[in-house]
Amino acid sequence: MSLDVSQSVAPTTEVGRVPLIKLEGVRKFFPVTQGILFQHKIGNVHAVDGVDLEVYPGETVGLVGETGCGKSTLARVIMRLYDATEGRISFDGRDITHLKGRELREQRRNMQMIFQDPFASLNPRKTVGSIIGEPFKLHKMVAKDRIKPEVQQLMELVGLSPEHYNRFPHEFSGGQRQRIGVARALALRPKLIVCDEPVSALDVSIQAQILNLLEDLQAEFNLTYLFIAHDLAVVKHVSDRVAVMYLGKIVEMAEGATLYKTPKHPYTGALLSAVPIADPDLAAAKKRIILEGDVPSPIDPPSGCRFHPRCPSAQLPRCKDEEPLLLPQHPGQVAACHFPLEDRADILPIGS
């Protein structure tokens, strides 16, 4: 997998620019052990298995895939919350794979995370003011007496009332709590924000509020987002480019509109066709690719193309024996498939 595909993945306008995040052959394995007293390793969970990815300043890259495909693990590896087993992570041209101690802490100013569950990611015993102000204290970026006005300014920025400075998280609704999480992530003016399923715990009418807020903040502070979600419609809406993951690997990547119009990997096609469309006529016209079964175990992933046991267009023995590489398809689109889908617009009827 050392083939140089990075140029073809990059959006055409970005060639030559330094990516904010660059991943090269990143792997993350978790050991599986057996025995209680004398533990011995019996295998590895191949959570992330060789990912190359570039994220450019100011863009939003979406990451989609089913549960267990490794998208959250990848996010945590980028955040350096997990150490990569193999590979290299660069931030703004600088290798951060093995940063430690103070250097790592300083690096973390530049990248923050927003989590899925606004009920679990806020300390219930702290006031909103101290939750949002915590990064200032940790990084000693702001004088003590300036913290409160700074926090209140942040609260206003994300649409919370600054008078609620002394309230506790339980006094807020789900959507408001997610705003608290956004304010906390924004406190240190990071360059990159990793959003791990930021709206999936929220009601539909509130989801749109948070998505619009994230869009506004991106425009205002020139933020770069890595946006992880399993809701393909949401990912399409927010992302410039979308990467599809399956069992620890990126199987397809393209600009949002291209990916949705001409998916090349059968897995992408199946994912897209499974999304229910809130329009009965279009839904009826949709072509369905039904996937059988579940995602195989990442402890012992299938040989060759990992998708071949579930793939409707798999041709044996090639798909079983030979691992497909991420190869250019349409401009700005790469897919890892021996028998890519033809350009059929009828998988997804596009509303006019």
Residues contacting residue 49 through CB under 8 Å, at least 6 positions apart: 27, 29, 70, 247, 248, 249, 298, 301
Using CB under 8 A as the criterion, which residues of the chain lie in contact with another protein when the complex forms? Answer: 66-67, 173, 175-176, 203-209, 211-212, 215, 230-234, 236-238, 257, 260, 270-280, 282-283, 288, 290-291, 293-294, 348-352
Provide, rounded to whole angstroms, the least separation between the CB of residue 213 and another protein: 9
Provide, rounded to whole angstroms, the least separation between the CB of residue 263 and another protein: 12
229 versus 334: smaller Cβ distance to another protein: 229
125 versus 288: smaller Cβ distance to another protein: 288
Provide, rounded to whole angstroms, the least separation between the CB of residue 194 and another protein: 20
Q: What is the CA radius of gyration of the chain?
A: 21
How far, in Å, CA of 307 to CA of 252, rounded? 12
Cβ atoms of residues 253 and 9 within 8 Å: yes
24 versus 59: smaller Cβ distance to another protein: 59
175 versus 248: smaller Cβ distance to another protein: 175
7 versus 13: smaller Cβ distance to another protein: 13
Provide, rounded to whole angstroms, the least separation between the CB of residue 173 and another protein: 5
Provide, rounded to whole angstroms, the least separation between the CB of residue 215 and another protein: 7
Residue with tokens 């090269």: 24
Edge-to-edge, what's the strand order for the sheet holding 327-328? 111-114, 192-196, 224-228, 60-64, 241-246, 249-255, 334-335, 327-328
120 versus 233: smaller Cβ distance to another protein: 233
Quick one: CA torsion of 72, 118, 142, 214, rounded to 10 degrees? 70
Q: Which whole-number Å values give the CA distances from 64 to 71, 110, 175, 176, 290, in the listed order? A: 7, 24, 22, 25, 18
Provide, rounded to whole angstroms, the least separation between the CB of residue 251 and another protein: 14
End-to-end CA distance of the chain: 40
